[in-house]
Structure 1
Amino acid sequence: MVEQAATAPAHFGITGSGLGHTPHAEGRVACVASGRAGELAARLDDPSFLAQCAARYTAVGFGVPGDSEVRSWRNSWPPVLRALVRAGLSDVWVYLEYGTPGGGRRLDVLLVGARPGGALGLVVVELKQWQSCRVLDAERVLRADGVVTAHPVFQVAAYRSFFRHWRPEEAPELDVRAVVLLHNATAEEAAVVRVGAGAVADIPVLSGADLAAPAEDLAGLLRCEGLSTPGVAEVRAFEGIRWEPSGRLLDHVGTILEGHSAFALVGDQQDAFVRIRAAAARYLPGRGVPAGRSGVEGRGGAGAVITVRGGPGSGKTALAVRLLGRLMLDHPAARPRFLTPSGTLRAHLLDAVSGHGAARELFPSITSLRSAARQAGALIIDEAQRVTRGGANGLPRNLAEVVGQVPLAVVFLDERQVIRPDEGITVEEIRDAARRLGRVHHHLELTGSFRCAGSAAYTAWVDDLLYGTPRPWRGQDTYQLGLATDPFELQRWVEQATGAGHSARITAGFCWLWTRHRPRGATTLPLDITIDTPAGPDTPARTWRAAWNAATALTHPDDGRPLAPHNQLWASHTGGHQQIGCVYTAQGLEYQHSGVIIGPDLTWTNGRWTAHPQQSRDETLRHLPADQYLRYALNIYRVLLTRGTHTTRIHSTDPHTHHHLTQLIKPR
């Protein structure tokens, strides 16, 4: 039973008056509601409670909750809160939808209690509404409705890992536990999900029947044994923890990134790496310096901003990732973070370090840029040209705050990869902002080409094709460039390359409808892309049909076998070659053989490129004037044409444009 103590009133976020908190927007805890378990349980019958939680969900930066999210709160919160009350745990402190710093994770329920000797006891609770499922492997389960989802035990273990690996030394000692609650499942159904061995064997999976156990047994089942009521001071101490990665975590992730073959550095990448490390040594504390605010204020003045500009394949991302790994090893007290507006690139980086569940917060969402700037002393921002504009002083507001706050910011960008009207930032704008804010500015250029078989000639040919005077491809080096008569030929080529063990993908301009949702249990994607091909000497007129890459991973409903990866992993995971990518899923990535379909939004007419925004299906672009759309269309196709490391083949749906390309690219 929990000891009785003076309680603080329930509150939303951290705005409650009982603990003397500052407003949530400036605080350190993001959640939709928090308070004593009994008080929150009593509010469940208040019709306004869920509405207030939904409003707080948006206010703290989680987004806008959908109907399914709110429905899950309505169905899942009552069983756990009422079980806590019946177990005599009415005064344990509860956070509903607790967000880790940086926005990396959102926990369903977090319980905080007191432990002897000043320690705090945390219990992470993962709530699932579903009943039966089939375990596919260590990381996935197949639900009864045919949806493949993360294994809840390993999911909650990753949350537990965060608290264990991000607690600073001066913070209260934490006893972190975890439990999965399938409140709609029977005891037999819950037993299927339990893991009886390894590092997660201590995480129980409870059923609805377990919640009906005698009251004296419930605290143990919920992993709350030994917890006493936390007082105001204990709750304040928990909320005041400045979470930061442990040296062990930084060493682990830094070593992974340092040794990853995809991030090897050569040429001017290595020179830039040395120069940036020298700046880091001046402005950041070295290994062995205690963490804390003094650890991120810099030793050589107010701070520095370094811009690194380079074209496609110049190695910006490889350099950025290697730099993150080195900063983790050399300057752990600076709490380095890596941010990118590209969700696709972020997904691949998380995939690269997926072996350590606590690493996710090292790669926060770009929407958490200001939060990351408050927590870190070194920020690496890749694909910065895609940061949304709209701030003061000619710079995106979030980026301006970073420049003025972080001791070392390294910003990677390519101004010719701006693909939306609400994006775009230049080196000159960053330089001017840095000077206004009293920051030292350094600029580096990456001029090499490490993607297209090291072919500077090919990248120059692409730039001439799109922005200058198109010229014939002479094929004077190792890069292979060709044309495909129709998309059927392109598809055969990609399938042959994939069958030979090579990575090959097709991308296209966003000129066809993209059906984002499909029926549950579907084993195929909608064939939204349709291109009519005229009859040839040996072929009849035909229509080529293909699917865009999957908005969510497509798996076989019977055995969970992967059929198509999530679109953010389309470029690298099995099955991606059978779907078509666009600029949003290809930017920042590469593959050996690249097929590109130039859609009807860009044609060669009367000796120049002409834009047709009405042919685009991109709602952010299709209503632009043609001359404004042209800039983005050229940039988009520049991205698509520079993804292949060995070969590019092109097909244009417009006959006149395709004829123009035949004058530039001779058959091999």
Structure 2
Amino acid sequence: MQDSLASMLSGNQEFIMIESQKIIYEDIMYTVNHLKNDTQGKKVFIIKGGPGTGKSVLAINLLSDIISEGKLAVYVTKNSAPRNVYFEKLRQGNYRKNYVHELFKGSGSFTDSETNDFEVLLVDEAHRLNEKSGLYSNIGENQIKEIINAARLSVFFIDEDQRVTSKDIGTIEQIKYFAKQQHAKIIEAELDSQFRCNGSDGYIAWLSDVLEIRRTANDIFNNDDYTFKIFDDPNEMRDAIIKENKYHNKARLLAGYCWNWESKNHPSKYDIIFPEHHFKAQWNFSNTTTWAIDTDSVEQIGCIHTSQGLEFDYIGVIIGDDLRFENGHIITDFSKRARTDQSLKGFVTKCRKGDKVALKFADTIIRNTYKTLLSRGMKGCFVYCTDQALSNYFKERLKRNNDIYNEITYTVQEAAETAENLLIYKTKK
């Protein structure tokens, strides 16, 4: 989508919407077109959808069409990574800087807004909304409340399975709570078709099953059009990503946040090091805000904060010791996160004391983080695990698919042989 952004804002149809998207789009546009004549107050849409179901595409289509009709609409995200990529893409498309910054805002931009300052606010990645705003989280009251207050119509695109830090308060329950406080009408809808991962709903469901986020019917990974591969050597995975990146600059390395950010203050230092493999790499943080599209960043490692909300052709994910396989199950370990990690801020001390609520929360954050990372690739996902048992577990889950395929092939072969023998028997008779 990031490549098609400028064209979409110019009114060109880059994506054909399917049924569920089109219905939601038409419902929202109908509401937009009747705002001036509507005396029933505020409206709040809550649009649910998993990774790759077209939430961002729908949001950008709505933004383009709403502003083309002369109405004031803004695309809102908490995470700055996609906004920075959008800014750069639109700058390359000769859009004026001030104009772009009015169209795309951070979720903390509405602390001082008056009621109904905006006609429409389109909130992407609503699960990443925070309570307070500002660099030190000391401004405003609640971002959800402030967004609903600032707009006559607010649209929240949300996937609760992508909440990845302790500050993420964006839930459907919270949105409904503040919508009711402001007497807004609530409309809920869901996007249920997968466009990323080569259109495989099954892959996303398989990830939930494999990571033991929830049991699904997708015990088997069965998609010949999507590449999922486990590497025993991180250098080989990096080489594979570099090879795929040569075609369109759309392959990147990602990792769970288990390694300290040493290169922030010491640019010559490396952050992620595996001495046994003679592997070393740096986090991408310190040198750019557009790492996802920079031409020289393929060997650097991105994290959840620089990749969420964006997509690539291929991704290589390094899974650290915060996710392991023990006693027949996936386990999480908050203590293996980097000391510079802020995603569990306020919960680590409670976890160390054995607080069950805190431990459950940390477990959810870690699993959600890896599911989000593992679903960034359009065409394929490569994985290297620091825990050998986890690597073996992934391989075993992939082997199940091959075993069933071989079993089905054998059964079909048996059936063919039986039919042939029956035909011979009837011919002789």
TM range (shorter): 0.7 to 0.9
Query: 2:23, 2:363 → 1: CA distance?
Result: 36
Match of 1:407 in 2: 152
Label 1:480 to 1:658 Cα distance change in 2 as closer, same or farther (>3 A): same
* Matching of residue 351 in structure 1 with residue 88 in structure 2: yes
Contact 1:347–1:569 under 8 Å retained in 2: yes
Paired residue for 2:234, among 487, 502, 508?
A: 487
List runs of 5+ in structure 1 lacking aligned partners.
1-251, 286-297, 534-541, 553-565
Q: Aligned partners of 2:393, 2:145: CA distance in 1, in Å?
A: 44
- Partner secondary structure for residue 403 of structure 1: helix
Tell me the TM-score normalized by structure 1.
0.52
The structure whose residues are more often helix, as a share, is 2
User: Matched residue of 2:26: which SS?
Assistant: helix
Report 1:196-595 matches (<5 A). Answer: 256=9, 258-259=11-12, 261=14, 265-283=17-35, 285=36, 299-330=38-69, 332=70, 334-354=71-91, 355=94, 356-359=96-99, 360-371=101-112, 375-389=117-131, 397-466=142-211, 467-469=213-215, 473-501=220-248, 503-515=250-262, 517=264, 526-533=269-276, 542-552=277-287, 566=288, 568-595=289-316
Measured at CA, do residues 461 and 255 of structure 1 come closer, stay the same or move farther in structure 2, by a change above 3 Å?
closer
With structure 2 as the length reference, what TM-score do the two structures score?
0.80
Structure 2: gaps of 5 or more residues: 134-139, 352-358, 403-429
Equivalent residues of 2:8, 2:61 under 8 A apart: no
For 1:456, give the aligned amino acid. Answer: D
Q: Structure 2: which amino acid aligns with 1:361?
A: E
Deviations 1:36-60 (A, max 9, x none): xxxxxxxxxxxxxxxxxxxxxxxxx
Bigger Rg, which one:
1
Distance 1:346 1:479 in 2: 28
Check 1:664–1:427 CA distance in 2 against 1; reply closer, same or farther (3 A cut): same
RMSD (Å), alpha carbons = 2.6
Q: 1:424 to 1:488 in 2, by over 3 A?
A: same
Q: How many residues are treated as equivalent by the alignment?
A: 372
User: 1:222 maps to which residue?
Assistant: none
Residues 404 and 439, structure 1, Cα contact 8 Å, conserved in 2: no
Contact (CA 8 Å) 1:455, 1:477: kept in 2 or not?
no
Q: Percent identity?
A: 26
Note the C-alpha offset of 1:266: 3.4
Q: CA deviation at 1:337?
A: 1.4
Q: Evaluate the alpha carbon distance shift between residue 373 and residue 644 of structure 1 in structure 2; reply closer, same or farther with a 3 A threshold.
A: farther
* Map of 2:344 onto structure 1: 621
1:531/1:545 contact within 8 Å kept: yes
Structure 1: distance between partners of 2:19 and 2:45: 19
Measure the CA separation in 2 of the matches of 1:254 and 1:303: 31
- Amino acid aligned to 1:597: I
Aligned residue identity for 1:604: F
| Counterpart Cα distance in 2 of 1:265 and 1:643 | 21
Q: Determine helix, strand or coil for the equivalent of 2:21.
A: helix
Distance 1:254 1:300 in 2: 35
SS of residue paired to 1:367: coil
- Seen in structure 2, the aligned counterparts of structure 1 residues 335 and 614 have a Cα distance that, compared at 3 Å, is same
User: Is the contact made by 1:531 and 1:544 (CA closer than 8 Å) also made in structure 2?
Assistant: yes
Contact conserved, 2:45 with 2:156, CA < 8 A, in 1?
A: yes
What is the distance in 2 between the residues matched to 1:373 and 1:658?
53
Inter-partner Cα distance in structure 2 for 1:449 and 1:390: 33
| Distance in 2 separating the partners of 1:396 and 1:385 | 17
Tell me the residue number matched to 1:195: none
The offset of 1:483, in angstroms, is 0.9
Are the aligned partners of 2:203 and 2:223 in contact in 1 as well (CA < 8 Å)? no
Cα contact 1:310–1:413 (8 A) shared by 2: yes
Distance 2:169 2:373 in 1: 18
Residues 627 and 305 (structure 1 numbering): CA distance in 2 closer, same or farther, change over 3 Å?
A: closer
Q: 1:439 to 1:655 in 2, by over 3 A?
A: same
Q: Which protein, 1 or 2, shows the higher relative CO under an 8 Å CA cutoff with sep ≥ 6?
A: 2
Task: Report what 1:63 is aligned to.
Answer: none
Tell me, yes or no, if the aligned pair for 1:364 and 1:372 is still in contact at 8 Å: no
Distance 2:78 2:250 in 1: 25
Please give the alpha-carbon distance, in whole angstroms, between the structure 2 residues aligned to 1:602 and 1:645: 24
